[in-house]
């Protein structure tokens, strides 16, 4: 993705190279030093292994969250954690291949990760959520981490996306606010991983939903045999890049406010070089 904001206003000094540390590919002393510095913000992409029609990969939500988290971590010089590839995608259980975990597991997983990061002296945790079903369980985790004074945590659900969708969308949505395996998600995947998009398998689906759709728990497979909700035909990489840029741009002021409310205890402007302390940060 091309999102690379030029101006970062969050109250943390830029790193020397202005980029993130990717924990998956970095030795522990380097990650430990970054975590206890003023840049010690950890970014956790939280995805799902969920059907996305016959033309997009099961990992669509994970790959998208990972890209957004990477851009944000780069912008703030934070630590990028490996993505969680599974989420609460209960309403897609009728599509074989979808692998869903419970809401309680999503909450437990993210809370445990927050506790562990706090023990490393991490300043704050930013969870970039890629799937609708994870929203409530992730908010619950953020509350637990705050209530127990473990670690400041914020959950980002793609801020700025709805506004940009209103600008770029050419096809009709299958339902208000429903973006699944259609123009929007296909555009994002064309921007991020075009080789994973089976453009020869595009098909549209506009189900007739009951009046209580989205209000009561409901499986999706009776409404769309393919798993597509809407029409991917007008998708493009340009739209995908515009959407991703908009999400990153809208996320930065939110993170600015979040970090201003949770100031670093590290020496301003100097990255810590000692081994990490075992005392976690506490919420204000």
Least separation in angstroms between residue 48's CB and Zn ion is 7
HSE-CB of 260 using CA atoms within 13 angstroms: 9
Measured in degrees and rounded to the nearest 5, phi and psi for residue 153 equal -140, 140
Three-class SS state of 146: helix
Residue 274: partners with Cβ closer than 8 Å, 6 or more residues away:
33, 36
Least separation in angstroms between residue 267's CB and Zn ion is 41
Least separation in angstroms between residue 83's CB and Zn ion is 14
Cβ 11 vs Cβ 256: under 8 Å:
yes
User: Which CB, 61 or 245, lies closer to Zn ion?
Assistant: 61
Least separation in angstroms between residue 117's CB and Zn ion is 26
User: Which CB, 13 or 94, lies closer to Zn ion?
Assistant: 94
- Residues of this chain that bind Zn ion (CB under 5 A): 60-61
What is residue 195's DSSP assignment? G
Least separation in angstroms between residue 87's CB and Zn ion is 10
Residue 9: partners with Cβ closer than 8 Å, 6 or more residues away:
252, 253, 256
Least separation in angstroms between residue 212's CB and Zn ion is 22
Q: Return the H-helix or E-strand segment holding 240.
A: helix 237-261
User: Which CB, 32 or 228, lies closer to Zn ion?
Assistant: 228
Q: How far is CA 41 from CA 8, 69, 119, 147, 258, in A?
A: 14, 11, 13, 19, 11
User: Which CB, 61 or 66, lies closer to Zn ion?
Assistant: 61
Least separation in angstroms between residue 121's CB and Zn ion is 34
User: Which CB, 121 or 232, lies closer to Zn ion?
Assistant: 232
User: Which CB, 60 or 187, lies closer to Zn ion?
Assistant: 60
**Distance (Å, whole) CA 218 – CA 51:** 16
User: Which CB, 111 or 186, lies closer to Zn ion?
Assistant: 186
**Distance (Å, whole) CA 217 – CA 178:** 15
With vertex at residue 79, the alpha carbon angle to CA 73 and CA 84, rounded to the nearest 5 degrees, is: 90
Residue 13: partners with Cβ closer than 8 Å, 6 or more residues away:
38, 39, 268, 269
């Amino acid at each position: 993705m091309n999102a690379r904001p030029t101006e970062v206003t969050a109250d943390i000094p830029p790193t020397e190279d202005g980029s993130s540390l990717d924990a998956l590919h970095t030795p522990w002393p380097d990650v430990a030093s970054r975590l206890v510095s003023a840049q010690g913000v950890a970014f956790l992409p939280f995805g799902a292994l969920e059907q996305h029609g016959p033309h997009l990969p099961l990992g669509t939500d994970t790959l998208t969250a990972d890209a957004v988290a990477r851009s944000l971590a780069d912008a703030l010089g934070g630590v990028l954690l490996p993505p969680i590839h599974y989420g609460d995608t209960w309403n897609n259980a009728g599509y074989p291949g979808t692998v869903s975990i419970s809401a309680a597991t999503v909450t437990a997983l993210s809370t445990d990760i927050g506790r562990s990061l706090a023990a490393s002296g991490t300043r704050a945790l930013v969870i970039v959520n890629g799937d609708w079903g994870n929203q409530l369980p992730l908010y619950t985790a953020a509350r637990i981490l705050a209530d127990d004074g473990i670690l400041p945590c914020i959950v980002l659900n793609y801020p700025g996306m709805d506004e940009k969708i209103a600008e770029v969308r050419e096809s009709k949505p299958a339902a208000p606010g429903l973006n699944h395996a259609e123009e929007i998600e296909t555009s994002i995947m064309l921007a991020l991983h075009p080789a994973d998009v089976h453009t020869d398998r595009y098909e549209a689906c506009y189900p007739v939903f009951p009046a209580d759709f989205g209000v009561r728990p409901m499986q999706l497979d009776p409404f769309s045999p393919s798993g597509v909700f809407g029409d991917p035909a007008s998708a493009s990489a340009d739209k995908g890049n515009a959407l991703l840029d908009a999400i990153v741009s809208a996320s930065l002021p939110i993170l600015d406010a979040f970090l201003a409310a949770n100031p670093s205890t590290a020496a301003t402007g100097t990255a810590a070089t000692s081994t990490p302390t075992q005392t976690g940060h506490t919420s204000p």
